[in-house]
């Protein structure tokens, strides 16, 4: 069974590479249809987050899928291949389980990845890209993730990216309570950031979003104001702390816009955390004085400080995943014999039909029923034995010995007497 995971993540590719291979929600369905419709893969699902882009596929060749990934994003092999990993069969299964359980995340045990994986599966289903194998894989994946999170402490004291952003802000500002906060976006990550920063009671909170409706819905929960992205040029200078995470494919905060904002602020420091991939802030903006700009990769050091706390839980989780991988592979290997079973059944059914037709003709011609039954039984026996007996007669010495042992096991034959006794 050709089951693979192909992709890159925060451990194999820097941010400037990861942001070039993301799949936005507006193109994901189209991408899956292109991948499976072009017969590069029989089944496929794509998981695209700020820290990873992975293609889970069945019935395809990794080289062709890698070529497709490069072509879809207009990248050269030299730019992408050094960062890609390909995990076959059992490794692909284990990887899916580890990702959903939060063991492969930058934030160990993070809960968001499970929801992101479920959304990836929903999109793949809607695109008609899932079949029996991947459906079964993801069903088991979600069950394993639930067991790991329920029966281990893998998620305890997990420090999220949003919490890490708060810690960084506290290193720069004496008190967040004295600062004005701007949140750009209204998705899950911004909602999490709002929760963590609101606990520090900043002087004000403003949510900027493309649509006012979604922005207001989030702002109302935290007693915040809401503005549209179009208002940012006029309002940006008012804020001391900015956290941004949108699905935009182009930067929202350019270097020139930030430069003007800093001049208006008379060079009072501005702290920006860009949690988006692709980035919402032009990387060149980091060159500006008085601007403290951090990306998801910059936050990883703070997050890693928390990893050692839960190493015992990691060991326990890895054991659970290893056991569940074995169970899934047993099912997968069972699926591999289905075509052979179907072919054998069809072959013997054809033999049965032929002998039955011969018996009916004999009866129609007035033959004795007992003789017909005897002929039917002999005919079936001879036809069923023809293939194994021919294989024995045509086999070489070594193969014949293997076939003899196999037939004894299949047909439960008595062991032959030892020669010379």
As to burial, measured by CB atoms within 10 angstroms (0-12 exposed, 13-18 middle, 19+ buried), residue 206 is: buried
- DSSP-derived secondary structure letter, 289: T
Rounded CA separation 138/187 (Å):
24
Q: Measure the CA angle with vertex 85, ends 82 and 91; round to 5°.
A: 160
Tokens 């034995």 sit on residue: 385
Which among 76, 117, 66 has a CA at the least distance from the CA of 96?
A: 117
Helical H segments across 52-131, by residue range: 62-73, 77-80, 89-101, 112-126
Strands in 85-88's sheet, in edge-to-edge order, are 43-48, 52-58, 3-9, 85-88
| 245 belongs to the catalytic site | no
Distances (CA, A) of 376 to 327, 347, 356: 44, 17, 7
Q: Would you say the C-alpha torsion 63, 67, 70, 75 has a positive or negative sign? A: positive
Active-site entry in 50, 117, 161, 205:
50
Which single residue is written with the structure tokens 């951090």?
294
Q: What is the CA radius of gyration of the chain?
A: 31
CA–CA separation, 155 and 110 (whole Å)? 6
- CA within 13 Å, CB half, 410: 7
Alpha-carbon gap, residue 211 to 337, rounded angstroms = 53
Please give the Cα distance from 54 to 121 (Å, whole number): 12
SS3 content of the chain, % helix, strand, coil (to 5): 60, 15, 30
Which residue, among 335, 339, 248, 245, has the nearest Cα to 295 in the 3D structure? 245
* Interacting residues of 119 by C-beta distance below 8 A, sequence separation 6+: none
Q: Which residues are tagged catalytic? A: 50
């Amino acid at each position: 069974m050709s089951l693979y995971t192909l992709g890159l993540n925060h451990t194999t590719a820097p941010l400037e590479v990861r942001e070039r291979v993301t799949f936005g929600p507006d193109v994901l369905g189209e991408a899956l249809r292109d991948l499976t419709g072009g017969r590069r893969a029989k089944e496929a699902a794509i998981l695209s987050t700020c820290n990873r882009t992975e293609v889970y596929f069945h019935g395809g060749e990794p080289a062709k899928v890698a070529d497709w990934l490069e072509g879809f994003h207009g990248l050269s092999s030299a730019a992408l291949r050094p960062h890609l990993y390909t995990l076959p069969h059992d490794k692909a299964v284990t990887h899916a389980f580890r990702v959903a359980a939060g063991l492969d995340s930058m934030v160990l045990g993070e809960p968001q990845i499970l929801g992101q994986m479920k959304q990836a599966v929903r999109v793949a289903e809607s695109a008609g890209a899932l079949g029996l194998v991947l459906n079964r894989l993801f069903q088991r994946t979600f069950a394993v993730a639930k067991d790991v999170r329920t029966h281990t402490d893998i998620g305890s004291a997990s420090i999220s990216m949003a919490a890490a952003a708060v810690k960084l802000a506290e290193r720069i500002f004496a008190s967040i309570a004295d600062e004005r906060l701007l949140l750009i976006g209204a998705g899950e990550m911004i909602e999490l950031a709002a929760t963590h920063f609101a606990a520090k009671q900043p002087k004000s909170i403003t949510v900027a979003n493309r649509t006012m409706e979604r922005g207001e819905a989030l702002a109302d929960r935290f007693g915040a104001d809401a503005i549209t992205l179009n208002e940012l040029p006029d309002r940006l200078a008012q804020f001391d702390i900015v956290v941004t995470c949108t699905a935009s494919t182009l930067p929202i905060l350019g270097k020139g816009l930030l430069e003007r904002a800093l001049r208006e602020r008379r060079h009072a420091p501005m702290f920006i955390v860009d949690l988006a991939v692709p980035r919402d802030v032009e990387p060149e903006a980091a060159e500006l004085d008085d601007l403290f700009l951090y990306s998801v990769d910059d936050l990883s050091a703070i997050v890693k400080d928390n990893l050692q706390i839960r190493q015992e839980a990691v060991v326990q989780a890895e054991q659970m995943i290893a056991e569940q991988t074995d169970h899934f592979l047993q099912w997968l290997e069972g699926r591999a014999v289905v075509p052979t079973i179907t072919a054998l059944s069809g072959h013997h059914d054809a033999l049965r039909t032929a002998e039955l037709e011969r018996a009916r003709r004999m009866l129609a011609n007035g033959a004795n029923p007992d003789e017909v039954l005897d002929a039917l039984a002999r005919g079936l026996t001879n036809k069923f034995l023809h293939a194994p007996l021919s294989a024995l007669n045509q086999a070489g010495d070594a193969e014949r010995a293997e076939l003899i042992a196999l037939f004894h096991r299949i047909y439960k034959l008595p062991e032959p007497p030892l020669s010379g006794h």
